[in-house]
């Protein structure tokens, strides 16, 4: 995995997991900056310098593919 660093302000738009229900804040958010995907804890977004895990788009797609094959099919 390539170690790239993006500050939270580099990523303009964050998306919360589609399986995140109601006010439950125990989830992650994902944002894209160029060819990098940022992943952050949704509970920490009110802080000025919250941590962001950055991975390449290639690595992210690989992770999503592994998760999709490991989970049962959705109706």
Q: Is pLDDT of 3 > 60?
A: no
- Average pLDDT value for residue range 43-52: 73
What pLDDT, in 10s, does the model give residues 15-35?
Answer: 887 766 656 567 888 898 888
Q: pLDDT above 70 covers what percent of the chain?
A: 71
| pLDDT average, residue stretch 1-11 | 54
Q: Which pLDDT does position 26 carry in this prediction?
A: 72
> Is there a contact between 14 and 40 (Cβ–Cβ < 8 Å)?
yes
Given a cut of 90, whether residue 65 has pLDDT beyond it is yes
Task: Annotate 38-65 with b (16+ C-beta within 10 A) or e (fewer).
Answer: bbbebeeeeeeeeebebbeeeebeeeee
């Amino acid at each position: 995995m390539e170690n790239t660093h993006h500050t939270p302000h580099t990523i303009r738009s964050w998306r919360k997991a589609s399986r995140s229900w109601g006010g439950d804040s125990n989830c992650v958010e994902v944002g894209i900056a160029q060819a990098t995907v940022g992943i952050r804890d949704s509970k920490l977004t009110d802080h000025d310098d919250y941590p962001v895990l950055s991975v390449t788009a290639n690595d992210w797609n690989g992770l999503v593919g592994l998760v999709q094959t490991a989970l049962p099919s959705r109706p």
